[in-house]
Amino acid sequence: AGDEGTAVADEPELTPPPEIEGEVITGDLGEYTINFGIGLSETSPQYRSVEYFRDILEERTEGRLQVRIFPNSQVGDDLQMMNALQSGTLEMTYPSTSPATGIVPELAVFDLPFLFPSPEAADEVLDSELGQEMLDRFDGTGIKALAFAENGYRQLTNSQRPVESPDDVRGLDLRVMENPIQVDIWRTLGANPTSMAFGEVFSAMEQGVVDGQENPWSTILTSNFYEVQGYGSETRHVYTPFIIMISEQFWNELPGEYQELIQEAAEKTRDYQRIISREYDQWSKERLRDEGMEITELTDEQRREFEEAVQPVYDRWAPEIGEELVERVQEMVAEFEER
Ligand code: TF8
């Protein structure tokens, strides 16, 4: 597979989920149902990881903790689902960090372009004390943040033309996430960005309301964006984390044994999701080519042109986010890369 002109299989070969280990939690702890809403489709690595999460909880409690999964933004977009967690009408969700900056502003550090040179550098920061501090900042907001997983490197797609340089971006009408830094990145590059909930993106592109959007290859594939987007560029301009989160109201009702199990399962889900997300990413790119999308791979030099063009975004936002936080993350990344 992967050879020029050879059709790519319909399903990627993904690492199977690890064996579920650990004792069954016995005792009369009650029965609970977790309604778990996500933005992406049933074929996404995100969904597959929630299936693993469900299996862990159901097996370890002999079905006393049930998980019902609602994909495709069918119970709301990221902002609406986080709201629902806060009001206790939905138990769990798995949004990007970008729309969560209204709740925890410090998360905006992850919206800075070209921050992480590799997914492993992102893991290093997200799994550090700093990452844990970020998760803890949700305490008292109505949401308990359990773990950072991976949305991944975002790539630009559009219906108009191949994009190789910042100049090619000029004038494109683009959908971006609901986050001011994301808007600023594309405005700085000369595009016309509009914030929009993810669930509306396909039809906005289909109807020509926008020319393009940016998301990881796996999302571009599993949300069928290639049907309405002829061109993709491997810009890797932002690495977006996902956060596995639970309603604080619901969490507080749970016995400690279940809380511990859910925390443990969320971390296992994070580890598994990162593996399949990375496997899925590269496979998706080939699959998209197969579907007829013209994909432009940028050279390091071409990517640096984008990086230089968006430098003003750092100058404008670092003071807002906190210079100290930005520098702390940059230093961790630099140290990691030297190792
Ligand atoms: C976006 C994000 C989303 C996710 C998920 C659908 O573009 O990358 O794909 O947050 O909820 O809005």
DSSP string, 104-143: -GGGGGGGSTT--SSHHHHHHHHTSHHHHHHHHTTTTTTE
Cβ 213 under 6 angstroms from ligand 1: no
Q: What is the DSSP letter of 236?
A: -
Residue pair 236/185 in contact by the 8 Å Cβ criterion: no
- The phi and psi torsions of 38 (rounded to 5 degrees) equal -135, 160
Beta bridge partners, 174, equal 193, 212
Per-residue confidence (pLDDT) for residue 9, from 0 to 100:
82
Helix (H, G, I), strand (E, B) or coil at 34: strand
Fold category of 155-238+293-338 in CATH = D-Maltodextrin-Binding Protein; domain 2 (3.40.190)
For residues 187 and 310, give the distance between their C-alpha atoms in angstroms, rounded to a whole number. 10
Q: Inter-axis angle of helices 119-126 and 129-136, to 10 degrees?
A: 60
Ligand 1 atom with the shortest distance to the CA of 216: 8
Question: CA geometry: angle at 225 spanning 302 and 205, to 5°?
Answer: 95
For residues 156 and 232, give the distance between their C-alpha atoms in angstroms, rounded to a whole number. 6
Q: What is the DSSP letter of 11?
A: S
- Going by alpha carbons, the residue nearest to atom 6 of ligand 1 is 39
Q: What is the number of other CB atoms lying within 10 angstroms of the CB of residue 136? A: 12
Length of the chain: 339
Cβ 215 under 6 angstroms from ligand 1: yes
Per-residue confidence (pLDDT) for residue 5, from 0 to 100:
53
Q: How far is the CA of 56 from the centre of ligand 1 (A)?
A: 25
Cβ 97 under 6 angstroms from ligand 1: no
Q: Which of the following CATH numbers is that of domain 32-100+119-150+241-287: 3.30.930.10, 3.40.50.720, 3.40.190.170, 1.10.1740.10?
A: 3.40.190.170
Cβ 95 under 6 angstroms from ligand 1: yes
Same fold, 32-100+119-150+241-287 and 155-238+293-338: yes
Among 38, 174, 177, which is best to mutate for testing ligand 1, by the most ligand atoms less than 8 A from CB?
A: 177
Q: How far is the CA of 70 from the centre of ligand 1 (A)?
A: 15
Point out the residues of the chain with pLDDT beneath 70: 1-6
The model's pLDDT over 26-42, given as tens digits with 9 standing for 90+, comes to 989 999 999 999 999 99
Domain spans, the chain: 32-100+119-150+241-287, 155-238+293-338
Residue pair 142/102 in contact by the 8 Å Cβ criterion: no
Q: Where are the alpha helices (DSSP H) in the chain?
A: 45-60, 78-87, 119-126, 129-136, 166-169, 180-188, 201-206, 217-222, 248-253, 256-290, 300-309, 311-321, 323-338
Among 69, 73, 78, 202, which is best to mutate for testing ligand 1, by the most ligand atoms less than 8 A from CB?
A: 78
Residue pair 130/199 in contact by the 8 Å Cβ criterion: no
Per-residue confidence (pLDDT) for residue 10, from 0 to 100:
84
Cβ 39 under 6 angstroms from ligand 1: yes
For residues 129 and 148, give the distance between their C-alpha atoms in angstroms, rounded to a whole number. 13
Per-residue confidence (pLDDT) for residue 6, from 0 to 100:
64
- Going by alpha carbons, the residue nearest to atom 2 of ligand 1 is 96
Longest CA–CA separation in the chain, Å: 64
For residues 100 and 84, give the distance between their C-alpha atoms in angstroms, rounded to a whole number. 13
